[in-house]
């Protein structure tokens, strides 16, 4: 068996991810909808506002009664009432009259504009002078001026933000259709790996790091963490865990030990699942080469390298976009939400002919972002904790120079 069966470039993997279909849709309450992705467009069920509202404190008038009004020749209007906040207007505006109205108040019948209080002078208890003319519609938000009934307000695939939730609430919507969030199983494999809660470490064993890091990254990417397991490098044990994980989850993320054999284990387990489709076995980046992407029907299986730094880079570059895509986010290739531009603080050497993903730390210097390469053995967790993300030295480039502007891909949403 060749070491890697289907090596792909980063671009090719992202193209595969782009073609993953979103999960099924579900109905959620509008209060819980922020951060979710619409599975169908939203049309306004009713107009907003549903009555003509004043946008200023002042007087509701017939605009024509103010035509030609000015400081030297004000228009004289009789004040015949007042609109109370939150109530329908009790009195209609007739020619030559005005009704006091607060911001947000309902425009009385007969009125077609509001004169701001600043441009009026009380003459006596029941009369005002208007010193500036208004046109029909001035300082009024008419029925449907904000949102017309039936208007398409949000697109399928739109990720709802707090302000969108406000818009849905304004239209009286209580529920909305969104794509499901993926349920994700996180599995670490390796004979040397023991659960992190192991108090006293047996000889040769280390605590698992990847389940904790991957689970936290899954949650940040909107996934729902389900089963979290550590298993030894045993083909039958791994198959059993995968079978159970695939049954109850949309995505299974394995991270392998660092030895060569583990990758074969994942491939051999996949062979035991009829209909499984190996989409990538090997990706042409460093670190991160031993990455596996497979589909089993509607389910997605990722195999990540065992080194925590490699696993975190591959998660950020590929697994996160795949989880977003399953939630219905469009155009994951163009996603720039977790990318920052920064000035490289130091030269990064690189070997021509492979894409290097180099860990960097972001620092702020006089309001500008700088990216400092974090060097150190990739087996180290302390250097990973010192890094905020990575910069990519492309395949055909031999290193990056200090002072150049780079894109930093963040491991985590700040």
Q: Min. distance of Cβ 68 from its own copies in angstroms? A: 26
Residue 190 or 303: the one with the smaller Cβ distance to its own copies is: 190
Q: Min. distance of Cβ 3 from its own copies in angstroms? A: 13
Residue 71: which of 142, 156, 133, 138 has the closest Cα?
A: 133
Residue 276 or 316: the one with the smaller Cβ distance to its own copies is: 316
Peptide bond into 49 cis (omega under 30): yes
Q: Min. distance of Cβ 314 from its own copies in angstroms? A: 13
Q: Min. distance of Cβ 94 from its own copies in angstroms? A: 20
Q: Min. distance of Cβ 132 from its own copies in angstroms? A: 19
Q: Which residues pair with 344 in a beta bridge?
A: 371
The whole-angstrom separation of Cα 253 and Cα 189 is 11
Residue 84 or 123: the one with the smaller Cβ distance to its own copies is: 84
Residue 128 or 309: the one with the smaller Cβ distance to its own copies is: 309
Q: Min. distance of Cβ 297 from its own copies in angstroms? A: 29
The answer to whether 405 and 343 are in contact (CB under 8 A) is: yes
Q: Min. distance of Cβ 291 from its own copies in angstroms? A: 17
Q: Min. distance of Cβ 84 from its own copies in angstroms? A: 7
Residue 230 or 344: the one with the smaller Cβ distance to its own copies is: 230
Q: How far is CA 276 from CA 78, 149, 189, 298, 319, in A?
A: 81, 48, 20, 10, 18
Residue 74 or 288: the one with the smaller Cβ distance to its own copies is: 288
* Cβ atoms < 10 Å from Cβ of 352: 10
Residue 14 or 69: the one with the smaller Cβ distance to its own copies is: 14
Q: Which helix (H) or strand (E) holds 13?
A: helix 10-18
DSSP string, 31-71: GG-TT-BBSS-EE-SS-BSSS-EESSSEEEE-GGGGTT--S
The answer to whether 168 and 33 are in contact (CB under 8 A) is: yes
Residue 33 or 75: the one with the smaller Cβ distance to its own copies is: 33
Q: Min. distance of Cβ 77 from its own copies in angstroms? A: 22
Residue 94 or 386: the one with the smaller Cβ distance to its own copies is: 386
Residue 134: which of 118, 148, 123, 147 has the closest Cα?
A: 118
Q: How far is CA 392 from CA 313, 351, 359, 376, in A?
A: 11, 12, 9, 17
The whole-angstrom separation of Cα 184 and Cα 267 is 20
DSSP string, 153-218: EE-TTPBP-HHHHHHHHHTT--EEEEEPPPEEEEEEE-TTEE-TT-SSPPTT-EE--HHHHHHHHH
Q: Min. distance of Cβ 301 from its own copies in angstroms? A: 21
């Amino acid at each position: 068996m060749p070491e890697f069966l289907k090596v792909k470039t980063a671009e090719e993997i992202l193209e595969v991810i782009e073609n993953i279909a979103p999960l099924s849709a579900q109905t959620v309450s509008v209060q819980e909808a922020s951060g979710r992705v619409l599975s169908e467009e939203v049309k306004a069920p009713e107009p907003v506002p549903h009555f003509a509202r004043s946008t200023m404190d002042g007087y509701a008038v017939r605009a024509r009664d103010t035509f030609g009004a000015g400081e030297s020749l004000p228009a004289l209007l009789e004040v015949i009432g007042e609109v109370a906040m939150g109530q329908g207007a009790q009195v209609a505006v007739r020619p030559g009259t005005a009704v006091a109205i607060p911001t947000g108040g309902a425009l009385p019948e007969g009125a077609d504009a509001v004169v701001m209080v600043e441009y009026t002078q009380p003459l006596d208890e029941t009369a005002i002078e208007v010193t500036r003319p208004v046109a029909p519609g001035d300082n009024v938000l008419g029925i449907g001026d904000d949102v017309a009934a039936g208007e398409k307000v949000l697109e399928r695939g739109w990720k709802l933000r707090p302000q969108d939730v406000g818009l849905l609430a304004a239209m009286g919507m209580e529920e909305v259709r969104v794509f499901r969030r993926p349920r994700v199983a996180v599995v670490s494999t390796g004979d040397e790996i023991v659960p992190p809660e192991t108090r006293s470490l047996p000889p040769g064993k280390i605590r698992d790091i990847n389940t904790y890091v991957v689970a936290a990254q899954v949650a940040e990417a909107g996934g729902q963490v389900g089963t979290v397991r550590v298993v030894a490098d045993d083909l039958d044990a791994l198959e059993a865990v995968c079978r159970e994980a695939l049954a109850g989850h949309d995505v299974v993320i394995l991270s392998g030990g660092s030895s060569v054999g583990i990758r074969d284990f994942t491939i051999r387990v996949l062979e035991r699942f009829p209909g499984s489709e190996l989409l990538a076995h090997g990706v042409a980046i460093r670190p991160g080469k031993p990455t596996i992407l497979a589909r089993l029907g509607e389910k997605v299986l990722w195999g990540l390298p065992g080194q925590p730094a490699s696993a975190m880079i591959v998660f950020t570059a590929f697994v996160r976009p795949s989880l977003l895509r399953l939630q219905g986010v469009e155009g994951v290739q163009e996603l720039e939400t977790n990318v920052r531009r920064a000035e490289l603080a130091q030269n990064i050497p690189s070997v021509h002919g492979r894409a290097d993903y180099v860990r960097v730390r972001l620092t702020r210097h006089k309001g500008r972002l700088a990216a400092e390469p974090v060097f150190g053995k990739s087996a180290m967790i302390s250097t990973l904790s010192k890094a905020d993300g990575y910069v990519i030295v492309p395949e055909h480039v031999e290193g990056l120079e200090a002072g150049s502007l780079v894109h930093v891909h963040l491991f985590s949403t700040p």
